[in-house]
Chains A and B, each alone.
Chain A
Amino acid sequence: AQKITQTQPGMFVQEKEAVTLDCTYDTSDPSYGLFWYKQPSSGEMIFLIYQGSYDQQNATEGRYSLNFQKARKSANLVISASQLGDSAMYFCAMREAFNTGGFKTIFGAGTRLFVKA
């Protein structure tokens, strides 16, 4: 069974510093996708970054980078130069394909990030 684990329920970071949010996953499927989403207090889900299981390089999107360590089954999110607007809930998610051609995506428990001025 697939499983996503985020072990940090809450994190504090000083403005302008970098922060790493942890995510580990468990799957027996060789093909999968890993995603990070941000959910501000307003509730909408905002896509941040994607990493495919076959991608050789770590994904980067602006201030976001994904530290993908396939052998360890970890996909940590690194936010550089934190901003006050980064304060939100962050979810790691994994998507696998069904044999029938569809997809299934599950989410980790989330990490609440607080950026201090």
Chain B
Amino acid sequence: GAVVSQHPSWVICKSGTSVKIECRSLDFQATTMFWYRQFPKQSLMLMATSNEGSKATYEQGVEKDKFLINHASLTLSTLTVTSAHPEDSSFYICSALRRGGNQPQHFGDGTRLSIL
């Protein structure tokens, strides 16, 4: 089945540093990639949608300059949390979608980010 690899799975860093999270679709081309944030015991909050050939579309309230998304190719998307602070600590999950609206999204295993 389709596999989405997300790296790193866990990162701890100091406040003020930038952290890059990678999301790769290993055996299919992802025309759309989604980035979600999940707080403990809560739902997935959509941060941004990145479609093939266009810039990421950010959800209301998500800072574009804070959370930089690059959909470099049809198999790779990156989320960079710039100048991270403790309030950015969370579980970040990427998801990739093949072409076609009725396909299920394939999720990465998530990245647990802890900012000290």
> Which A residues fall within an 8 A CB radius of B?
31, 33, 35, 43-45, 47, 50, 52, 91, 95, 97-98, 100-110
Which B residues form the contact surface with A (CB < 8 A)? 32, 34, 36, 42-46, 49, 51-52, 54, 57, 91, 93, 95, 97, 101-102, 104-107, 109-110
Indicate the member of A45, A50, A52 with the most B CB atoms within 10 Å: A45
B42 touches A102 (CB 8 A): no
Known: A45-B107, A109-B43. A100 touches B102 (CB 8 A): no
What A residues does B36 contact at CB under 8 A? 107
From A43, A95, A103, give the contact of B91 (CB < 8 A): A43
**In the bound complex, how far is the Cα of B48 from the Cα of A106, in angstroms?**
11
> How many residue pairs bridge A and B at CB < 8 Å?
62
In the complex the two chains form, is B102's CB within 8 Å of A107's CB?
no
Contact, CB under 8 Å: A109 / B104: no
Q: Is the CB of B101 within 8 A of A95?
A: yes
- The residue that B110 contacts in the complex, of A43, A50, A107, with Cβ under 8 A, is A43
Inter-subunit contact B91/A105 (CB<8 Å): no
Interchain CA distance A72-B75 in the complex, whole Å: 38
